[in-house]
Structures are given as C-alpha cells and as structure tokens.
Chains A and B, each alone.
Chain A
Amino acid sequence: MGDSREGRVLRKIGGVAYWAGGAPVMARLPAAIGYRLACWRGDWLFRRHAAERTELAANLRQVLGSQLSPAAAQDVTREWFRLASCEAVDVKRLRHSALPLRRLVEIRGREHLETALAGGKGAILCSAHFGSFDSAFSLLNPSGYPVTTIGRWQHKYTAGLSAAERRFWALVYAKPLQRLRQRPNIEPWPGHLDVAARAAAVLRANEVVTICIDAPPLDSDQARAVAVPFLGGQASLLPGIVTLAQVTGAPVLMTFLHRCADYRHQVLEISAPLPTGGDTATAFARCAAEVSATITRSPAHWRYWASTTDLVTLGLVPPLRDRSAAVARSVAVAS
C-alpha cells in the first residue's frame, strides 16, 4: 500500500476498525490468543504498509547506523508493528480495575518507589514513548499509587485529524487510560503558566508524577531545549523534569515497560532514584542516557521510529533536503 491519499484513508479506516472492534474482542480472549492475533495483525501491517515500513527501517538505520544490519532493521521494524498492535490490546485490557492487564504485568523496583514516597516529597517517574507507556502509567493507580501524568494527548495535536477523529481517539484511547489514573493529565500547552506549579502541588501531596522526556519540543519550547547525547547522536530535549525535581526536592526514578518474548507478559521496571543535583543540563543528560540505553537495548519499543518529522525535530535525523544534498554529494564524490 503506497503513501497515496487512498492509502492513507485506508490505513485510517483500518486503525479505527482495529481499535473500535478488533482490539476490544482480542482483549476479551485468553491472553495467549489475543496477543497472538495482535502479532498477526502486526505482521500483516508490516507486509502491507510498504511506505511506512520503508520509512521506519530507514530511520532505524539512519539513527542506529552500524548497530543494525539491513536485515536486523527489518526484524526490528516487524517487531515495531507487532508491539503497536499489542498496545491496543493492552489499553482494552484496562477495563474494570485493570485486572486483565495487571495479571500480565510484573512491577519490579516497587521498593524504590515506596522508599521515594516515604521521603514525603512525592516521586517523579521519568519514562519515554517506549512500549505501552501510557498503559503502564494507568496501571499504577490500581496498584496503589495515584498518578498524574504531565503530557499532551496525541490526538489533540496531531496534524490532519478531523474533529470526529479526535473525538474517536479521545474515546477509545485517552478515556480508558484517564479513567484509571483518576487525576487529569497536566497538559503543557504553550502559554499555560501553571503547569509546573500544578505538578509541584501533586508532589507536595506526596503523589506520583509521570512524564516522558523524549518528546520533540514544540516550536515555542525550542529555546528551553538542551542538546544531550542520545542514541549515538545529539537530541534536543526539554530538561524541565530536572528543574521540577530541584525545586520540589522530589526524587526522579526511571520507569520502562518491557514486553516479554511471549508478547502477553510485560515487566514494569522502576529504577532507584537518579541524582538530580548540580547543573541542570548534566543532571538531565543522566536521565536521557537511561532512556537512550533502554531504547538501544529494545529499539522496537520506541514509538518515534515511525515519525521522521519527530526525529527531525529531535535532531536525530537531518531534514529531508539536507539528506538529499548529502546523497547528491556522496554520489558526486563516488563518480
């Protein structure tokens, strides 16, 4: 399926049908069968969506370079499609008190979170757009930790979505996730001056704040971004989480949800607190290094491989015109 208008429309229809019909059914089947079906769907998308598959593999090779052979990049790409399909099943297993999903997720490092909260200054769980991170955040509340997430819902800012599509994604994605958190997200839109103060209030109440630090900065936030080593290059990321930790005294713990080889079981790992004292950029680089190492170990879990635009904003791949120029230069040199 090419990247024509018809192709994009068909992909959208396929996504809507899967989230509205397929995934809810799979989520009610025995986990072994439900996730197996999700993987089959992922394999089908991998074969069918040639343009997306090619873009994803190219981005993987562009960023990870020699770490991935072309064949390995294809394997990671296929895995990426499988994990994306499994994510929908995860969200649909959050019904009731999320028990259908909680039974499949082992939380490791709970003692680190307990120790952090015993300090009375809340805890910041720092993560990335890695695996089913949103489901992981929502699992924490039924596991005993009220959670407030700092983040914008993707359906609210993704360009090219109709109002109906935005309502659809709010219903099938955001609503089940938000219901379990029992706290509204703090959404850092431009001009919202109270974002950090609201996060600080959550921490003062000795609750948990979660945040993904790998989001591409909005244009209005570019001035605050810092360049840190990331995936073998330099990424432009927002270090606000470190400032928040420094101002409130809250500890920062890294959190990642890994999917196991059987696709149905997952492990939510919570690290010991990271040092956040001293220079903001240096402290933030430590957080970014943890994210980078985690993605490098399991690249298929990272969401942004599919979006060249986001990778460009992050500074991990050059804009298309620069890539064309680089190719032209290399051809000229070779000839």
Chain B
Amino acid sequence: METIIKDYISQELVRDPELLPLADEASLLDSGILDSLSLLQLVVFLEERFAITVGDADLLPENFASVNTICAYLRAREPAKQAAHG
C-alpha cells in the first residue's frame, strides 16, 4: 500500500523534483505537495484503486499529512469496508 501511494504521489503530484525521493513520514502539506486540488486528485486515485469512498468529513489534514497517515487512514477503514461487504 505504501509503495502504491508513494509512487502515485511522486509521479503525479510532486512538482518540485528536489522533494524526491519521498519519505513515508515526509509532510505532504508543509512541503506544498498536497493542496486542495492535488488532494482531490489523490482522493480520486484512492477511491478507484482501493474501492472506497472518501467522505467530505474525512478530508482532514491529519488523514493526509504523509504517506504513513494516508495508509493508517486506509487501514482504519478496512474493518468498515469488510463489514459492508460481509
């Protein structure tokens, strides 16, 4: 999961090559990698890639602060997703 997300962000959202390679704990917000539009791009990618729906209430800085927090957010959603499918 980390690799998939990191690859997408590195290839599609990072505008400044000096920010690469991207560390899992690197701040995506402070570095300017994620803004409102790039977050939308990322959310669309996550929804398609992991078959989830990210609600407006989940668009919080703490969920998208770094690759690590994005993965934690997705993992936290796993039980809900499994329950919905079960």
Chain A residues with CB under 8 Å of chain B are 188, 192-198, 200-201, 223-224, 240, 243-244, 247
Contact = CB atoms under 8 A, between A and B. Distances in A.
A201 B44 CA distance: 12
B51 to A, nearest CB: 17
B41 A247 contact: yes
Interface of B: 15, 29, 32, 34-37, 39-41, 43-44, 56, 59-61, 64
A54 B37 CA distance: 39
Given A243-B41, A247-B41, 17 more contacts: A193-B29, A193-B36, A193-B59, A193-B61, A194-B59, A195-B36, A196-B37, A197-B36, A197-B40, A198-B56, A223-B15, A224-B35, A224-B37, A240-B37, A243-B40, A244-B40, A247-B40
A41 B64 CA distance: 52
Contacts of A223: 15, 32
B64 A193 contact: yes
B86 to A, nearest CB: 27
Contacts of B39: 193-194, 196-197
20 contacts: A193-B29, A193-B34, A193-B39, A193-B59, A193-B64, A194-B36, A194-B39, A194-B59, A196-B36, A196-B39, A196-B40, A197-B40, A197-B56, A198-B56, A200-B40, A243-B41, A244-B37, A244-B40, A247-B40, A247-B44
A196 B34 CA distance: 12
Nearest to A241: B37
A297 to B, nearest CB: 31
Contacts of A188: 36
A198 B56 CA distance: 7
A243 B35 CA distance: 12
A124 B34 CA distance: 23
B56 A193 contact: no
A194 B32 CA distance: 15
